[in-house]
Structure 1
Amino acid sequence: MPKDSHGHLVAGRVGPQRLVPRSIPRPEYVGKKSPTPYRGNDVYSAEQIQRIRESSIIAARAIEAVGAHIRPGVTTDELDRVGHEFLVDHEAYPSTLGYRGYPKSLCSSVNEVICHGIPDDTVLEDGDIINIDITAFHDGMHGDTNRTFVVGNATREARDLVERTEEALRRGVKAVAPGRELNVIGRAIESYAKRFGYGVVRDFTGHGVGEAFHSGLIVPHYDAAPEYSTVMQPGMVFTIEPMLTAGDITWDMWADDWTVTTKDKSLTAQFEHTLVVTERGAEVLTLP
């Protein structure tokens, strides 16, 4: 695994982009510098929600397929191959591939990487934790999910962080209800995380998803200011994806303009679901 003299991750060698059959439709941003600004709504019809559900299930199953290959000695680029092949085998386009120039079909964020780690020749070691983030574009809709895995035998600190981050996501989902403001989600997440002294990353958030990969709707994971007062309503679709750290929440960006790490190099974990607001609460769409 590429590391510096202090044992911290450094960038590895990134292989070529993987090919997607021409028969699979691309999102509109592929081949462009940036996506066209989204002018649509975050509230969808039943027919549209079913299409988002189908994309979300593909993404969730792709993460399961990748997870079956996570072990000491495997490279993150090999995991990208597994995820990529699963998506294209199911007639889905890997949403990250070509998004604002991103070169790979999933994000693989190891140990102190908060998010957006680029798969490369990094070799996983026993005791690592790794987040796999996959978004599938199918039938005109994106479905977005991620999960953190423990590689081999990790420390109790690492296992606790992973388990509690997943619980933080569950608590965020439980806070969803029509008529409530979006900021209640972050309040539920941060109040739980604080019990263990964890940091809650603020600068990377959940988002509206569906026709657009990122619609512009922001879903904070911390006890946010009143300006995040959008009222949830049935049919609204967005992600919740808390990033918790064992240390500080300040971060550094690598020269690749994607990889974000904790400044103090503390461990960090993340979990994500795409969900739709229902009449009584929320339905998680990214279940395999």
Structure 2
Amino acid sequence: MIITSDDELQKLKAIGRICAQAVEVMAKALEPGITTLELDEIGRRVLEENGAQSAPEFCYQFPGATCISVNEEVAHGIPGSRVIAAGDLVNIDVSAVKDGFFGDTGASFAVPPVTREVEKLLRDGRRALWTGLQQVKTGKPIAGIGNAIGVFAKKNRYTLITNLASHGIGRSLHEEPTEVPTWPDADESRIMEEGLVFTVEPFLSLGGEWAEDGGNGDPWTLYSDPRAPTVQFEHTIVVTRNGPLILTLAE
């Protein structure tokens, strides 16, 4: 969507803040022995206490309030009986709706102790997100986001998952602009308009290049191909003349 009023902006800020708070509270509860379902219930409680509803449930009948992906899982992991263990790499992705407006954010976390390689991957995952965000400005090409992230990934010897794109958001969870690439894409020719709302969410990996389903009767969970540790960090933003206005901050 393109924001046309301050009322729209305030409602987007409100739901963005709620999503960020859910990720923050869930991350603080992340420890060995907790199940992904217990973690999901913590996130659900944050959403409901703030008058919001899980977007995956609302839009797609997803079997959980949030997406929690562990180790070999890249995205859309279903909360359940899986027990978090020391050394696990966990992605928490929260999207929700309130007053007809949607927010979407996510981050990856490691449960100590972890290898220096994974610590560096987490640090650089955040750096990749901010590298993309720095390209957001009214009148600039959308392709600049993926191009900058691509340069960063190559320089630091990472790969990018190239079929999990960022997306427009606002009055729907997924809307125009669809399929915003966070990797170099020669076919991307769109220009960022003032007030445009979308996510930026690169998937940085130690070798993965594609996301695929794992079969086994699970239509949701995605895995990297080839299998490799992968992190995702995501913000919902508004395009302005001064750069990105980040909506998904806890404070």
- Whether TM exceeds 0.5 here: the answer is yes
Aligned residues: 247
Report if the CA contact (8 A) 2:208-2:230 is conserved. no
Per-residue CA deviations over 1:219-253 (Å, capped at 9, x if unaligned) read 10001123x22211211100000001101313330
Root-mean-square deviation over aligned CA pairs: 1.2
Q: Structure 1 residues 282, 58: CA separation in 2 closer, same or farther (over 3 Å shift)?
A: same
Q: How far 1:264 sits from its partner (Å)?
A: 2.6
Are 2:201 and 1:241 equivalent residues in the alignment? yes
Q: How far apart, in 1, do the equivalents of 2:59 and 2:159 lie?
A: 28
Rounded Cα–Cα distance in structure 1 between residues aligned with 2:155 and 2:58: 39
Q: How does 1:254-269 map to 2 (within 5 A)?
A: 254-255=214-215, 256-269=218-231
**1:98: how far off?**
4.3
8 A Cα contact 2:212 2:224, kept in partner: yes
Q: C-alpha separation between the residues in 1 aligned to 2:2 and 2:214?
A: 32
Q: Percent identity?
A: 36
Corresponding position of 1:271 = 233
Q: Residue 131 of structure 1 corresponds to which residue in structure 2?
A: 91
Alignment equivalent of 1:75, drawn from 28, 35, 54: 35
User: Is the Cα–Cα contact under 8 Å of residues 52 and 142 in structure 1 kept in the other structure?
Assistant: yes
Question: In the TM superposition, what whole-angstrom CA distance separates every residue of 1:7-52 from its partner, at most 9, and x where no partner exists?
Answer: xxxxxxxxxxxxxxxxxxxxxxxxxxxxxxxxxx444433212111
CA distance in 2, matches of 1:136, 1:219: 20
Q: Structure 1 or 2: larger helix share?
A: 2
Aligned residue in 2 for 1:50: 10
The amino acid of 1:282's aligned partner reads P
Give the equivalent residue in structure 2 for 1:197.
157
2: CA distance, partners of 1:274 / 1:162: 19
Listed as ranges, the matches of 1:138-287 within 5 Å are: 138-217=98-177, 218-226=179-187, 228-255=188-215, 256-287=218-249
Structure 1 residue 121 displacement after superposition: 0.7
Q: Which has the higher strand share?
A: 2
**Which has the greater radius of gyration?**
1
TM-score by length of 1: 0.83
Question: What stretches of structure 2 of length at least 5 have no aligned partner?
Answer: none
Instruction: Tell me how far 1:161 sits from its aligned partner.
Output: 0.7
TM-score (norm 2): 0.95
